Structure 1
Amino acid sequence: MLETFLDYRFLFDIAVILLSTKLCGMLTRRFYMPQVVGALLAGLLLGPAILKPLFGFSVLEETDFIDSISEIGVIVLMFTAGLDTNIKDLKKVGVSSTIVATIGVIVPLLMGWGIAAIFGAGDNILQHIFIGVILTATSVSITVETLKELGKLNTKVANTILGAAVIDDILGIIVLTVISSMADSSVSIWVTLLKILLFFVFVGVCAVVGYYLFSHWFSHSNKDLRRHVIVSFVFCLLMSLAAEVFFGVADITGAFFAGLILSSTTAQPYLNARFGTLSYMFLSPVFFASIGLKVSVEGMGATVWIFAGALVLIAIISKIVGCYLGARVCKFNRRESMQIGTGMVSRGEVALIVANKGYALGLMSDIYFAPVILVVIVTTIVSPILLKIAYREKKPKQEISQTQP
């Protein structure tokens, strides 16, 4: 009986992951945090990070099966991120969001690189830069909820934050593309840059040809919409494969651009609903829990914990400074610039996806997963607090003087 259980252990693992991530997700939602944080906590609580040091065992372990499912999960996650990106809205956000996003990527990249170099978080300069790459991504889901609560969602500042967040993620993916391509030290930098250039040419050709073919087929084939999902998923997988195998670019980059190509087609709402359900029910929980399972505290000395604290501070400060400077360049006043800066502090899914990809490419050790997860959790908690402070109305000087005795 024990042998049979071990043969089918993967079913138990998946059942535990789905149940625990849902329960932890419901708990974190009660504290106004994204369910992503709950999924991470589930992986941490049931994996080797906490149980093993305390009791000598863990309920869940990282396995090849979980790794394979999480790899498909992250591909679908990035595909749906591409599907969710509205190219028309992207054009409307204008120069201000682009400038805010660009400076908001450069400053965290440089500061993250610097702090990694100071603490020696890696064996070479590429690994130090990669820590900076992780800090570039922004998650504004918690910011949107806070702005709704404050009644400030439909404002110029809010639109700038939302537009900058989309561009921010695209820039982060491009930076990841460059760094992941450079991870193979046997290939020269010029060959790497040529491959990246050819990849974007390939994406451009796929965008023109793919958009025409898919639009024509979707408009003339409305009888069985399930075929659209299958063909779209095949397109996503082939784009991911081509990116990784032929161009040395991260597979998730190919998946993102596959979704971006299909985002302007008439089938986008249907595709988004179907892939969103698949991702929410099964693939995303496994992926985010697997991140928690990768965390190891055994090799974490005092230096790594100090680095974790420093990384959290750098993650918060660098985004505020970068986006504040970008907003000031775009003629926002100081108060509005601070609101934009605090609105971009939160990190989320993309940071975890980038970290996971770096781990797979050998750009990051498993002992640095804990600091990265700490960044995601702390920035998620801190972001709405800072945003509410930034939006706090100042009392007029006359009113203040009248209240004094």
Structure 2
Amino acid sequence: MTALQTIFQHSLSLNLESGLPLLATASETTASEADTTIILAGVLLSLVFIYFASKLGGELSKLVDLPPVLGELVAGVIVGISALHLVIFPETGAMASDSVVITILQQVVGLQPENASAVFASQSEVISVLAELGVIILLFEIGLESDLRELQKVGTRAAIVAVIGVVAPFIGGTAGLMLLFGMPTIPAVFAGAALTATSIGITSKVLSELGQLKSKEGQIIVGAAVIDDVLGIIVLAVVASLAKTGEVDVLNLVYLIVSASAFLLGSIFLGKFFNKSFVAIAQKLQTRGNLVIPALIFAFLMAFLANAIQLEAILGAFAAGLVLDETDKRKELDQQIIPIADILVPIFFVSVGARVDLSVLNPTSAENRQGLIIAAFLIVVAIIGKIISGWAIFGKEKVNRLAIGIGMIPRGEVGLVFAGIGAASGILDKPLQAAVIIMVILTTFIAPPLLRFAFKEEAEIVEETGS
């Protein structure tokens, strides 16, 4: 049995909730190994669907002059729970019987019906882990492409954009839901909190594709998104505490603020001493991967440390990229990371789209109608609340404030996390949960084309002025 199969078998044992006995006899061991092989087959087939959808969606999006990442997200929706059911996950409410992959496994490799649920849960878990690795690699790559000195130059402005981009939609959403819709305080606060998120993964990917990542606007957006991510973690901790106990754990809140700030600042400070050691180690190694493997070790270690102190792993990966951006080997390392990103990052974007359930947009359902009305309100607040953050930029230096505001709009997977926790805790009822999901869908999908439009308009104005 391979090491990978051993991992899958362990995952299977954690997910078997059907009362199956523990492994004891040779025949039972053989059956378990067969299930492990089937899980591997399910993962491989899921990856085939994911990569095909990702490439087809990206190419079609490129043909109509839109960012490829938007095509990947749309392709994810098509192959996901909303349409083809090629890539679906248990947390969306899907059953094993809904999965095309499980159906194929039953017909082709002999998956037994009694084991279908366990195999479905296990192969979905593996895809989810690969997607998480994808976003970690993406943020590491973005950190490598970002210029720490430029980020420091826009630090104050990025902080202002982030704070306003969190406070404005939170207050607008919470107050509006309570005053206009008569919603109880805790659900209104939770929904308002879902408006504060910004998906740095989606925005930074679009900026990179537009060639604007190193522009002043790109650096402000990325810097603000990083700060926004830290603030989002704090907000999520607060509302999660509200959901569990009905009151805020002040000590935990203080801990999150201090640990997040210390982690980012400490990483950047210590990185100045680490850079020379990293280059020296890379130069002494003689085998393949002498540069990229130590870099990945550092990135995963930083992601682990961030996760261990209750921060987001992607924050650690981004910090690792920022640190290594200062090394002499940065360009070479950047080129070596690209193929790894090409393998893992599409899994993340397709998975985000695959989890989106468009059935909440069906107006024929009475529950959805109320949700649609609330969603319309949330979408307006979500867009305006982030756009005004761009106009908070001060100074005489000319910047594209509209592009900055638009760059903060997409909620992406971060907003889905809020919706998921709210639904699991019972804080969000069906209409409000549907409204939050619709807000996440639309803000995620409209931001990339709007961002392209904002930069294109600026370029045209510059050309006209220059002429």
* TM-score class, shorter: 0.7 to 0.9
User: Greater RCO between the two (CA within 8 Å, min separation 6)?
Assistant: 1
1:218 is aligned to 2:292: no
- Stretches of structure 1 lacking an aligned partner (at least 5 in a row): 395-405
Give the deviation of 1:134 after TM superposition.
Answer: 2.1
What SS does structure 2 have at the residue aligned with 1:8? helix
Give the deviation of 1:23 after TM superposition.
Answer: 0.5
1:379 is aligned to 2:441: no
Deviations, residues 231-268 of structure 1 (Å, cap 9, x unaligned): 332232232223223x2222222222222222222232
What SS does structure 2 have at the residue aligned with 1:226? coil
Report the counterpart of residue 301 of structure 2 in structure 1: 238
Assess, with a 3 A threshold, how the Cα gap between structure 1 residues 140 and 196 changes in structure 2: closer, same or farther: closer
AA aligned opposite 2:134: G
Report the counterpart of residue 8 of structure 1 in structure 2: 41
Report the counterpart of residue 139 of structure 1 in structure 2: 203
AA aligned opposite 1:255: A
1:33 is aligned to 2:66: yes
How do 1:228-267 and structure 2 match up within 5 A?
Answer: 228-245=291-308, 247-267=309-329
1:74 is aligned to 2:135: yes
Please say if residues 199 and 413 of structure 2, whose CA atoms lie closer than 8 Å, have aligned partners that are also in contact: no
Distance in 2, matches of 1:351 and 1:9, equals 30
Please say if residues 198 and 225 of structure 2, whose CA atoms lie closer than 8 Å, have aligned partners that are also in contact: no
What SS does structure 1 have at the residue aligned with 2:203? coil
Please say if residues 121 and 128 of structure 1, whose CA atoms lie closer than 8 Å, have aligned partners that are also in contact: no
Distance in 2, matches of 1:123 and 1:65, equals 34
Report the counterpart of residue 197 of structure 1 in structure 2: 258
AA aligned opposite 1:304: G
What SS does structure 2 have at the residue aligned with 1:133? coil
1:273 is aligned to 2:335: yes
Give the deviation of 1:362 after TM superposition.
Answer: 5.1
Please say if residues 347 and 380 of structure 1, whose CA atoms lie closer than 8 Å, have aligned partners that are also in contact: no
What SS does structure 1 have at the residue aligned with 2:406? coil
Assess, with a 3 A threshold, how the Cα gap between structure 1 residues 203 and 343 changes in structure 2: closer, same or farther: closer
Distance in 2, matches of 1:304 and 1:344, equals 26
- Stretches of structure 2 lacking an aligned partner (at least 5 in a row): 1-33, 86-96, 102-119, 362-367, 463-467
Deviates more, 1:174-183 or 1:304-313: 304-313
Report the counterpart of residue 346 of structure 2 in structure 1: 285
Give the deviation of 1:290 after TM superposition.
Answer: 1.1
Distance in 2, matches of 1:381 and 1:294, equals 21
> Which TM-score applies when normalising by structure 1?
0.75
What SS does structure 2 have at the residue aligned with 1:249? coil
Distance in 2, matches of 1:106 and 1:68, equals 32
Deviations, residues 88-142 of structure 1 (Å, cap 9, x unaligned): 1123347556545554554344445555666669963552243222258683766
Assess, with a 3 A threshold, how the Cα gap between structure 1 residues 15 and 159 changes in structure 2: closer, same or farther: closer
Deviates more, 1:37-46 or 1:71-80: 71-80
Assess, with a 3 A threshold, how the Cα gap between structure 1 residues 23 and 122 changes in structure 2: closer, same or farther: farther
Deviations, residues 265-284 of structure 1 (Å, cap 9, x unaligned): 22322332223321223x11
Distance in 1, matches of 2:414 and 2:207, equals 21
Please say if residues 140 and 299 of structure 2, whose CA atoms lie closer than 8 Å, have aligned partners that are also in contact: yes
Assess, with a 3 A threshold, how the Cα gap between structure 1 residues 132 and 76 changes in structure 2: closer, same or farther: same
Give the deviation of 1:385 after TM superposition.
Answer: 4.0
Report the counterpart of residue 149 of structure 2 in structure 1: 88
Assess, with a 3 A threshold, how the Cα gap between structure 1 residues 194 and 100 changes in structure 2: closer, same or farther: closer
Please say if residues 46 and 58 of structure 1, whose CA atoms lie closer than 8 Å, have aligned partners that are also in contact: no
Please say if residues 154 and 223 of structure 2, whose CA atoms lie closer than 8 Å, have aligned partners that are also in contact: no
1:304 to 363, 366, 371: 371
1:46 is aligned to 2:79: yes
Assess, with a 3 A threshold, how the Cα gap between structure 1 residues 277 and 228 changes in structure 2: closer, same or farther: same
Please say if residues 69 and 205 of structure 2, whose CA atoms lie closer than 8 Å, have aligned partners that are also in contact: no
Please say if residues 142 and 321 of structure 2, whose CA atoms lie closer than 8 Å, have aligned partners that are also in contact: yes
1:127 is aligned to 2:190: yes
AA aligned opposite 2:351: S
Distance in 2, matches of 1:392 and 1:206, equals 40
1:330 is aligned to 2:395: yes
2:57 to 18, 24, 35: 24
Distance in 1, matches of 2:45 and 2:147, equals 39
Distance in 2, matches of 1:371 and 1:356, equals 10
Please say if residues 308 and 374 of structure 1, whose CA atoms lie closer than 8 Å, have aligned partners that are also in contact: no
Distance in 1, matches of 2:237 and 2:443, equals 25
Give the deviation of 1:345 after TM superposition.
Answer: 1.1
Deviates more, 1:56-65 or 1:29-38: 56-65
Report the counterpart of residue 172 of structure 1 in structure 2: 228
Please say if residues 263 and 306 of structure 2, whose CA atoms lie closer than 8 Å, have aligned partners that are also in contact: no
Assess, with a 3 A threshold, how the Cα gap between structure 1 residues 82 and 49 changes in structure 2: closer, same or farther: same
Deviates more, 1:351-360 or 1:266-275: 351-360
Please say if residues 165 and 408 of structure 2, whose CA atoms lie closer than 8 Å, have aligned partners that are also in contact: no
Please say if residues 243 and 253 of structure 1, whose CA atoms lie closer than 8 Å, have aligned partners that are also in contact: yes
Assess, with a 3 A threshold, how the Cα gap between structure 1 residues 210 and 285 changes in structure 2: closer, same or farther: same
What is the aligned length?
A: 374
Deviations, residues 192-251 of structure 1 (Å, cap 9, x unaligned): 312441353355444444542342231353254723322332232232223223x22222
Give the deviation of 1:34 after TM superposition.
Answer: 1.6
What SS does structure 1 have at the residue aligned with 2:262? helix
